[in-house]
Structure formats: C-alpha cells, structure tokens
A and B are shown apart, each in its own frame.
Chain A
Amino acid sequence: MPEFEPRILAFCCNWCSYAGADLAGVSRLQMPPNIHIIRVMCSGNVKPEYVVKSLVEGVDGVLVLGCHIGDCHYISGNHRTIKRFALLERLMDDLGIDKRRIRVDWVSASEGEKFQKVVSEFVAQVKSLGPNDIRRDAA
C-alpha cells in the first residue's frame, strides 16, 4: 500500500509567511509536497469557518501562517488570528476533530528555514494521525 500522503491546506499572509515560503523556494529548501498554499493578504482574513469547513470536508490538516506578533503588515491583523484560533482549538473537541490537525504559527519574510521546519513537522504530525476520516465516520 502506498504511503498515506495527506492533503494539507496552508493559509499564508501575503507579506510575511507567503514571502517566507517564496524564500524557502529560492533557497531550494526541500520539503514534503503535501502543502497547498492559499494566499490571503493577512492571516486576520482567515475565518475559522474556512478551517472547520476544510476539515469537515476531508482535508487532512490546515496550517494558518501569519507575520510574527508585533510585525503584522496591517498593524494588528494577527492579533485577531491568535485570538480566533485559540478559541477554535477549544471547540475542536466538540466538533470531533483532533486539534493536532490545525497549527497556527508565525513565519517572517526572512524565515525560509522556519517555513520548511513548520511544514515538515506538520506534515509528519498529520501523517502520524492518519487520514481525516470525519466524512466516512459521518456517513
């Protein structure tokens, strides 16, 4: 049986984490091909509903990556992110989803190596959790 290749979404803000991912590419830092980036202008734009919907419909894991606290291009957008996702994490049990399928982290435009590290760790974590069976369980 082929190895389980999780499908993972990553919401990246245009100014820091998306640029950090670009730098990882420019630096040819190798990482597993499971991450699919959706670019948003600010991590504060990411509705918790997007994450829940992704997981409920079978995406295996969701990353939300923004600027470091204090470095938000839009002053305080990531303050919203951190509050919303702290709350969302607490709701994950009620939703019947393993909260290890979500990770919120901060990657600056100069942190290509951190992007690689976060992606590699998260892919390994989601692989160890196995496929997100929520749809099958619901059926």
Chain B
Amino acid sequence: MEPRIGVFICHCGSNIANTVDVEEVVRYASTLPDVVHADHNMYSCSEDGVGSIKAKIKEKGIDRVVVAACTPRTHEPLFRNACEAAGINRYLFEFVNIREHCSWIHMKERELATEKAKRLVRMGVAKVALLTPQEESESPVVKSAAVIGGGVSGMTAAISLADQGFETHLIEKGSELGGLVKDLGALFPSESTPLEFVKTMRDETAASGVRIHLSSEIKDIQGYIGNFDVTISENGKEEKFKVGVVITATGADELKPVGEYGYGRYPNVITQSELEKKLAKGERVGNTVMIQCVGARQPGREYCSRICCMTAIKNAGRILALEPKSRVVVVHRDIMSYNARNEALYRKSMEDGVTYLRYTLEDKPRVEGRDRAEKITLREETLDEDIALPFDTLVLSTPLVPNPDNGKLQKMLKVPLDRDGFFLEAHVKLRPVEFATDGVFICGCARWPSDVPECISQAGAAAAKASIPLRAGKVRTEAITAEVDETTCTGCGNCIATCAYGAISIVEVEGMRVARVNLAQCKGCGACVGSCHNGSIQQRGFTEKQLISMIDCLTEGD
C-alpha cells in the first residue's frame, strides 16, 4: 500500500514565516511523492495547531506525518502524541527543523532559506515514507534523587523530594548549607533575618531525612533518566550512589568588579554584598552613592541581572533607617522593579528620600579621590547636566555571574549553557525547569539571577517535575534500538566489540552463529550499525535505507 503522507509547515508566528516563504514550501511539499496533504499552521504546537493536524489525519486518511517547525529536542513528543491520538503509530512521524536550523540562522536570506527549507522538507518526506511502526519498552527508575547545590533552591527541592518519601542526596561544595543567602544582611521584604531563615531551612532539610553531603565535590555522573551513577568526593572520601533524577541548583556568584570605579583601590568602594555585611554589623556608612549595572548590560556581559536594582532599593532603605541623616543617591541606567510588589517598594523608596539619577553607558560616572574615593561626577541623562556627588561610601551594584563549576557539570550532565554561562532549560514556556536531557532539572540562580521567592518557586517546580518519573517508577524508552537481520548476519562479532553497553551477544540459530540484541540493554546509539560490514544490523528509525533516502534528496535535482 502506498504511504499517505501529511506535511504540516509551521509559521511559528513570524519566527519562521519572516524568513521562509511558508506558503511556497507548502506548495512544494504537495508535489512530493506520496504526499496527500500539505498544510500550514500559525503555531503547529498550539492547541489549535495540534487539533487541526489530528483532524486532517482522520479526514485525509493520512498514515505518516511530517511536521516542519522547530526542534525535535523540545517538540517531538507533542507531535508524536498527536499522531498516536489520531490513530497512527507514534514512530511514523518525522520532524523537520526549519526554525533553529534555517529561519533563525539565515535571517537575511529569504530566498536561499526558503530553498533550503524545501530541501529539508523533501528529506523529511523521503524518510517518513520508509519509517516502520515501533513499540516502546519500559525501563525502571531508581527511586532516589541527587540535588546539586545546597543553597535555598537546592534545600527547597531536596526537602520537597524527601517529604514525598524519595531518598534524596543534597550535595554541597561548601562546609555549610545556605548558599548566597547566608551571607546577606537582610531578607527582603520579609522581616526575618537571613540567618534565621537559613537556620529554619537547614533544620527542615535535616528533619526531612535528606542525606546531606557537605564539603563535597561531584566527581562523575554517568547514565540516563532512571539510572544515574553519581560519584562524589566528600571531605576527600569517595562515595558512589545511584539516583533516578538529578536537580541542578548550583547558584551563582556576585561579580567582584576589580578595577571598576576604584574598586580594589579605595577602601570605601564596596559591592552590595559587602555593604550588607557592614550594615549587619551595625557599621555606619554615611552619605552613600550606589552605581547600578556595574559590569552588566555592557559589551562583554550584556544580560540584566534582574535582582540588583531591588537589592539597591532594599539597602538604600536600610541605610536611611539606621542613619536618618545620611543621603543616599542611586545612579542608574534603568530601574528593574518588575512586578507590583517591587514597583511599590521603588515608589516608597523615592518617597522616603532616596534620590535616583540616570547615567548613560556612553558617559559613565567618574570617581575621584586620593586615599579614599571622595566624589563622582556624572552626566545626568534627564537633566542633561554634569552633577558632582560627594560621598562617604560608594556602593557598586554588580550582577550575579554563573558558577565557575557550571562548565564541568554541564559536560557530565550533557546539558547546555547559554552564552553567558548559565544553564539553559529545554524551553522557557513548554518545559521550564527541565533540560532537554530527560531526568535532569534546573532551578534557582544557576538558571538565571533570581530573588529568593523566585528560587523557591522554581525549586518547588523542579522537584515536582522530578518526582513524576520517581513516582511512576518507570519511563518509556524510545524504540530506536538496534535489530539484526539473522538471515544475513555472518556472526563476525564486530558489533559486539563496538557496543559500549554489552547489549549484543552471539547466539546459535539453526546451527548458524548470529548476533542478537538485548533490547533492555540497548540504548539506541547505532554505533554497532557503523561497524557491520554487510548492513545486517540496523537501528530502528535510522536505518541505512532511511538515511540514504535523505542523502539522495540532496543529489537529485530540485
């Protein structure tokens, strides 16, 4: 029976359609062999989009589906589910990436990008025609978790998992729990002090039965969802355990802006966290100027750290409360007082007498002084005037910067970092706090700078997501395992030497030695395929025929 292929091209709003002529790709797709229906959606992944795909499958008797949209790493499960719901085996589906791999990287080349998208769709159609139905198997999930990082995020996630009854390991590099928060002078906007708050959390962590590993370093993480082998060095002693899921909560560090505005040279130029320590000890700081966005939102480090404006507003208020006669001026480029609560605090800060002045990136404030910094001069943007501000203390608001261990950890966990060095979650809307790699989750400042309430919400979300496979006790594994054609296999054993999982063995079938794959052990890499001298071993969903059909699309004329 001839395949009946349906092709659905996504506009992704303007993300694809601005660069790729979607209608043209649809026209082209409808001319390809075995395509009985080609269509486009504004957002294929929306309820409407998925609904219309399902309706078309039924209406047109489609038995294989190609969706050309974004990346299978985030959206493949959604469309496979749609196929299944419409009565097609979920493996008779092929994803074509025309966003990350086309429209977003060829934004100025509409014509060439459209031609490329057409070829990519053609390759997808060629492959889908050759796909065969597959059944998934299940693999067990070890019912325990590792949480990396013992700050507020890590403790919150660990408590949540331990309270659900899962064995939970909390791994902290330092000698005590509490992360960045334990070093703060005041918690905002609540009345409790950071020390009280951290102590409460530590007590809760201990009471919930979390296995706490202090002064511990991750040595190695191997494995996959349901079955990770974690090796740590705790106080120099090696320990190993198995977990089903991993939550990354490694936090971030405050940037020390050495060299900027006299920091490191003048004793009275300090960062916000250094100010907090002084205030916590009751030290007087006198007339104070704060400069925002030091080392942030400028070439080399372009992101906004989000939380430093509220830190400045908090500390300005604390100075005024302790020393009502002091004058506090915040010099900024924009105030990031997102959400209603923060905006109200910003307004109150102005009413309380904190002065806010604007500077520009092109004309940064200049610091003058001899033994101590004495004043800054700046071009005030709104007034368009030079202003000189004498002070006793100059406080620099610096961004949170990624934990330097992120690079090492991302390699072990096989998850991405963004260009700034923070961890990159699978999708901000569809899969927040998850990585594209199954079984690994992210929360808190390791993801991007967040305040304490945000960290707690994210940690709760990550723990909830992580508990799904733990509770189920099993995960469905993709059916992209290897299979041997026993009629042609010569039993040479090349594939056995290639398999890193020991999944292949030689068995005797009617007196002939042939290779056989143990599906429970096969992880679906296909490395064995490349070692077979006569094509007897194939990977489901990535067979020689299927891949060559894609290659042929590029060598034939359009």
Give the B-binding residues of A (Cβ under 8 A).
5, 7, 9, 14-16, 18-42, 44-48, 50, 53-54, 57-59, 67-68, 71, 73-77, 80-81, 84, 108-110, 112-113, 116
Further 14 A-B residue pairs, CB within 8 A, beyond A45-B525, A109-B415? A15-B437, A22-B100, A25-B105, A26-B100, A27-B419, A33-B106, A33-B115, A34-B116, A45-B527, A47-B544, A50-B551, A77-B527, A110-B410, A110-B417
Residue of chain B at shortest CB distance from A25: B100
Least CB separation from B15: chain A residue: A25
- When C-beta atoms are compared, the residue in chain A nearest to B555 turns out to be A57
Nearest 4 A-B pairs (CB), nearest first? A25-B100, A45-B526, A44-B527, A74-B525
Contact, CB under 8 Å: A28 / B554? no
Report Cα–Cα, A24/B113, bound state, in Å. 16
Shortest C-beta distance, B122 to chain A (Å), equals 10
Chain A nearest Cβ from B545, distance in angstroms: 12
Contact B500 A74 (CB under 8 A): yes
Contacts of B436 in A (CB 8 A): 19, 109
Interchain Cβ contacts under 8 Å between A and B, 8 examples: A22-B97, A25-B100, A38-B547, A38-B551, A44-B498, A50-B547, A58-B555, A71-B411
Q: Is the CB of A50 within 8 A of B107?
A: no
Chain B residues with a Cβ under 8 A of chain A = 71-73, 97, 99-102, 104-109, 112-113, 115-116, 119-120, 123, 222, 410-411, 414-419, 424, 436-437, 480, 498, 500-501, 523-527, 529-531, 539, 542, 544, 547-548, 550-552, 554-555
Given A40-B547, A58-B555: A33 in contact with B102 (beta carbons within 8 A) = yes
Residue on B with the closest CB to A37? B101
Task: Assess whether B527 is in contact with A80, with CB atoms less than 8 Å apart.
Answer: yes
Shortest C-beta distance, B117 to chain A (Å), equals: 9
Are B414 and A16 neighbours in the complex by a CB distance under 8 Å?
yes
Q: Give the residues in chain B near A39, CB-CB below 8 Å.
A: 72
Query: Which of B105, B437, B526, B548 is A40 in contact with, Cβ under 8 Å?
Result: B526
Interface contact B542-A41, CB-CB below 8 Å:
yes
Assembled-state Cα–Cα distance A73/B112 (Å): 34
Decide if B542 touches A109 in the complex (CB within 8 Å). no
- In the bound complex, what is the Cα–Cα distance between A54 and B501 (angstroms)? 30
Query: In the complex, which residues of chain B have a beta carbon less than 8 angstroms from the beta carbon of A47?
Result: 529-530, 544
Closest B residue to A42 using CB positions:
B525
Docked CA distance A61–B410 (Å)? 31
A48 CA to B526 CA in the complex, in Å? 14
Minimal beta-carbon separation of A4 from chain B (angstroms): 13
Instruction: Report the bound CA distance from A37 to B529 in whole Å.
Output: 19
A16 to B105, CA, bound (A): 18
Whether A19 touches B101, Cβ cut-off 8 Å, given contacts A45-B527, A47-B529, A53-B548, is no
Chain B positions within 8 Å of A41 at CB level: 480, 524-526, 539, 542
Chain B residues positioned under 8 Å from A35 (CB to CB):
101
Question: In the assembly, what is the distance between CA of A108 and CA of B109, in Å?
Answer: 27
A residues near B112, Cβ cutoff 8 Å: 5, 33
Q: Is A45 a contact of B523 with CB atoms below 8 Å? A: no
* A59–B500 CB distance below 8 A: no
A106 and B455 alpha carbons, distance in the complex (Å): 34
Contact present for A57 and B551 (CB under 8 Å): yes
* C-alpha gap A73/B416 in the complex (Å): 13
A21 touches B547 (CB 8 A): no
Measured CB to CB, the nearest residue on chain B to A24 is: B105
Q: Of B73, B119, B415, B500, which is within 8 A of A76 by CB? A: B500
CA distance A29 to B105 in the complex (A): 6
For B414, give its contact among A15, A18, A80 (CB under 8 Å).
A15
**Cα–Cα, bound, A31→B106 (Å):** 6
Contact flag A84-B500 (CB < 8 Å), given A19-B73, A41-B542, A45-B525: no
Question: What chain A residues lie within 8 Å of B554 (beta carbons)?
Answer: 7, 9, 36, 54, 59
Query: Chain A residues near B498 (CB, 8 Å)?
Result: 44, 80
Bound complex: CA of A48 vs CA of B530, how far in Å? 8
Contacts of A42 in B (CB 8 A): 525-527
Query: Are B525 and A59 in contact, with the CB atoms below 8 A?
Result: no
Question: Are A113 and B419 neighbours in the complex by a CB distance under 8 Å?
Answer: yes
